[in-house]
Amino acid sequence: MGIIRDSKTDPNKILPMHYMWARKYYKGGIANNWTPEEVSMQRDVEQWKSSTALTPQERHLILLNLGFFSTAESLTANNLVLTVYRHVTNPECRQYILRQAFEEAVHTDTFIYCCDTLGLNPEEIYTMYENVDVIKAKDEFVVDLTKSILDPSFDIVDIKTTQQFVHDLIGYYVIMEGIFFYAGFAMMLSLRRHNKMVGIGQQFEYIMRDESLHLAFGCDLINTIKAENPEIWTHEFQAEIVCLIKKAVDLEIDYAMNACPDGLLGITSRQFVEYVQHIADRRLERIDLPTLYHVENPFPWMSQSTDLSKEKNFFETRVTEYQTAGSLDWDDKD
Ligand code: MN
Ligand code: FE
């Protein structure tokens, strides 16, 4: 029995559960339920329509982040449903993946809601992934990582194909949701700290809270596959992953410099570089790879940001019980 390629999962027999951490993330997702319409956009609309409330650079920052996230969310959702769900056969993991897929639909809806309320041009927002170089570079990078496994004849049959699948998981969970989302989160939450576009800021905070769970689930999934298939985690494969993460850091820094040039919102370029590096080190640690940058978090408010009344942020939380299996205590009250 394993978390992937277990042919005896048909029909999905969810009890007794084997991976209680997956159940915990499912419960966490439910506890965090929200919809974009819960957040008032009144002040955002006033500021967006005013000629003095926002500088041209701030408008550029907002549009670029809406452009990146509007299509990145659906790219992630597609990978989740078309690839991850297909190969992760364990039922409690699939239950969480279904929950995550719903959350990606909520996130996609958030950007529809933002475009509608602010009266943005959808042609402009939804084509940025093709027309804005710093966005295109990030999207192409994750899509490229996963080309081979999108081939319908792809199956996980040996070490090499298991590595390819883990490569995909790292591409979407660690790089896309874990690195490429975070400069944008920092910018939009920083804007909110300056009392600008507070409604969108709140929505980004809810999205970040969801993404912190997606990322934590993804890392536990990756670590479980590694634990169950230790032969895949070769030095060569580890070096390849580290190399990908370094490239992702460079792309994310380019994005941050374009969207939030030096000094905007009181943030220096150096702080943004260090923030992205700090985030990347946390992701490396989470999948048991050596850290690369060793810099302090220049935005400590980012990890405290989610003092919302609902579920805590998993951003800084390390889950170590990857292999705690076999519990029959499925009537868990958490
Ligand atoms: Mn999302
Ligand atoms: Fe996500």
| Cα-to-centroid distance, 83 and ligand 1 (Å) | 16
User: Distance between CA 255 and CA 138 in Å, rounded?
Assistant: 8
The pLDDT score that the predictor gives to residue 317 is: 39
Q: Which ligand is nearest to the CA of 110?
A: 1
Give buried/exposed letters for 14-28 (b at 16+ CB in 10 A, else e). eeebbbbbbbbbbeb
Active site residues: 113
Residue among 86, 94, 101 at smallest CA distance from 153? 86
For the domain covering 20-327, report its CATH number: 1.10.620.20
| Cα-to-centroid distance, 13 and ligand 1 (Å) | 28
Q: Which ligand is nearest to the CA of 74?
A: 1
User: Distance between CA 156 and CA 229 in Å, rounded?
Assistant: 12
Whether the CB-CB separation of 115 and 41 falls below 8 Å is answered with no
> Which residue ranges of the chain lie beneath pLDDT 50?
306-334
The pLDDT score that the predictor gives to residue 8 is: 63
User: Distance between CA 284 and CA 244 in Å, rounded?
Assistant: 11
The pLDDT score that the predictor gives to residue 333 is: 32
Question: Please, which residues have CB less than 5 A from ligand 1, an ion?
Answer: 73, 104, 107
| Cα-to-centroid distance, 196 and ligand 1 (Å) | 23
Whether the CB-CB separation of 83 and 149 falls below 8 Å is answered with yes
Residue among 293, 299, 316 at smallest CA distance from 260? 299
Q: Which ligand is nearest to the CA of 107?
A: 1
User: Distance between CA 88 and CA 134 in Å, rounded?
Assistant: 32
Rounded alpha-carbon distances, angstroms, from residue 298 to 276, 295, 319: 10, 8, 24
Identify any residues that bridge with 84 across adjacent strands, giving them in sequence order.
none
The pLDDT score that the predictor gives to residue 322 is: 35
Identify any residues that bridge with 4 across adjacent strands, giving them in sequence order.
88
Identify any residues that bridge with 88 across adjacent strands, giving them in sequence order.
4
| Cα-to-centroid distance, 100 and ligand 1 (Å) | 8
Whether the CB-CB separation of 314 and 177 falls below 8 Å is answered with no
Give the amino acid at 154.
F
The pLDDT score that the predictor gives to residue 146 is: 83
User: Distance between CA 29 and CA 211 in Å, rounded?
Assistant: 10
> Which tens digit of pLDDT belongs to each residue from 103-120?
999 999 999 999 999 999
Whether the CB-CB separation of 94 and 3 falls below 8 Å is answered with no
- Delimit the domains of the chain by residue range: 20-327
The pLDDT score that the predictor gives to residue 90 is: 94
| Cα-to-centroid distance, 51 and ligand 1 (Å) | 31
| Cα-to-centroid distance, 103 and ligand 1 (Å) | 6
